[in-house]
Amino acid sequence: MERRVVFAGWLCPAVLLVPQMAVTIVFFFWPAAQAFNESLRRGDAFGLTTHFAGVANFAALFASPNYLASFWITAVFSASVAVLALAPGLLLAVMADRVVRGAALYKTVLLIPYAIAPAIAGVLWMFLFNPSIGVLAALLRWLGIDWNYFLDAPQAIMLVILAAAWKQVSYNFLFFLAGLQAIPPSLVEASAIDGASPRRRFWTIVFPLLTPTTFFLLVVNIVYAFFDTFGVIHNVTQGGPGQSTEILVYKVWYDGIVGLDLGGSSAQSVILMAIVIALTAIQFRFIERRVHYA
């Protein structure tokens, strides 16, 4: 889409674009290019010089059981966060769409986690499940569950999934609610007149109309789980126990900043970039389709 009527000249737009382009080039493109460059180089044992190493860094990554494990953990983590944030978001939106009394209050409170940083969501849940002082940890022990996420890998993964998903439900709730409110009431009424039960109306009319929203949110939630949950991991488990909660973003930070493995960390950056590009491309394809449906 383009405007027909525009202003003449190039100096004015150039001036307007300079700040954005300067920041973009200095802090986005230049570092991204550096990451590419360094991913193809290796340092000597003393870290003083580097030499071109081709795809050696990538080959080393994919030969490393740790890195492959991190991929697997990230997949399990992201899929779980997406499902655990989407399903309650949809359920709550459907319910909020049905009630009249208290709707504004429900909506306001359900919005709150959106405002809370993932890192702080992590702290809140960590405190609830702290093996020695956590309120919910005490409840679990009372139920006979041996709860100690410091030592038990599956428990640690469950805890970070829970904290990350809790924060994201708000976002999904909002988008599902907007999607529901955009559905023409006449469609649902027609099916009600035909005698369809509320459950049937939901699955045959409402849910199919929400498909574009659901796909869109699925991608957004996966991106969130991949990239925005660093603070959750860093606060709650630091990747542990062992490396059982070391998702890719945590590993790229750890190997680069703590491990000082420049080439390896840059190669991981390049792989992550490829993942974001793929996810963004998918996301925009679905948005195109959403526009056509609307």
Partner 1 sequence: MVSAPRSAIVPHAILIAGLVIVLFPIFVAFVAASHTLPEILNAPMSLVPGPHFLSNTIEALYAGTVKTSGTPVARMLFNSAVMALAIAIGKIAISLPSAYAVVFFRFPLRRTCFWAIFVTLMLPVEVRIMPTYRIAADLSLINSYAGLTLPLIASATATLLFRQFFLTIPDELVEAAKIDGAGPWRFLVDTVVPLSKTNIAALFVILFIYGWNQYLWPLLVTDTPAMTTIVIGMRQMIGNGDAETEWQLIMATAILAILPPTAVVVLMQRWFVKGLVEAEK
Site for partner 1 in 13-72 (CB under 8 A): 13-14, 16-17, 19-21, 23-32, 34-35, 38
Return the exposure string of 239-265: e unless at least 16 CB atoms fall within 10 Å of the residue's CB, then b.
bbbebbbbbbbbbbbbbbeeeebbbbb
CA 268 from centroid of its chain's CA atoms: 18
The answer to whether residues 155 and 145 touch, using CB atoms and an 8 Å cutoff, is no
Q: Which of 56, 75, 83, 116 binds partner 1 (CB under 8 A)?
A: 116
Q: Which of 119, 183, 208, 214 binds partner 1 (CB under 8 A)?
A: 119
In terms of CB distance, is 188 or 222 closer to partner 1? 188
The answer to whether residues 114 and 170 touch, using CB atoms and an 8 Å cutoff, is yes
In terms of CB distance, is 68 or 95 closer to partner 1? 95
In terms of CB distance, is 70 or 235 closer to partner 1? 235
Is 10 a residue that touches partner 1 (CB under 8 A)?
Answer: yes
* Residues with Cβ within 8 Å of residue 116, at least 6 apart in sequence: 124, 167
The answer to whether residues 191 and 240 touch, using CB atoms and an 8 Å cutoff, is no
**CA–CA distance, 80 with 127 (Å, rounded to integer):** 21
Smallest gap from Cβ 69 to partner 1, in A, equals 19
Stretch that binds partner 1, among 46-54, 61-69, 79-87, 262-270 (CB under 8 A): 262-270
3-state secondary structure 232-266: HHHHHCCCCCCCCCCCHHHHHHHHHHHCCCHHHHH
Contact positions with partner 1 (CB under 8 A) in 154-183: 166, 169-171, 174-175, 178
Is 134 a residue that touches partner 1 (CB under 8 A)?
Answer: yes
Is 200 a residue that touches partner 1 (CB under 8 A)?
Answer: no
Binding mask 72-111 for partner 1 (x = CB under 8 A): ----------------x--xx--xx-xxxxx---xxxxxx
Q: Which of 1, 45, 143, 258 binds partner 1 (CB under 8 A)?
A: 1
Q: Which of 60, 123, 153, 282 binds partner 1 (CB under 8 A)?
A: 123
The answer to whether residues 69 and 243 touch, using CB atoms and an 8 Å cutoff, is yes
Residue reference for tokens 């998918």:
282
Smallest gap from Cβ 38 to partner 1, in A, equals 7
In terms of CB distance, is 58 or 171 closer to partner 1? 171
In terms of CB distance, is 38 or 246 closer to partner 1? 38
The token pair at 90 is 């949809």
SS3 147: coil
* Residues with Cβ within 8 Å of residue 53, at least 6 apart in sequence: 40, 41, 42, 263
**Angle at CA of residue 161, ends 160 and 165, nearest 5°:** 120
Is 195 a residue that touches partner 1 (CB under 8 A)?
Answer: no
Q: Which of 115, 184, 195, 288 binds partner 1 (CB under 8 A)?
A: 115
Q: Which of 153, 192, 209, 282 binds partner 1 (CB under 8 A)?
A: 192
Contact positions with partner 1 (CB under 8 A) in 238-257: 249, 252-253, 256-257
The token pair at 207 is 């849910």
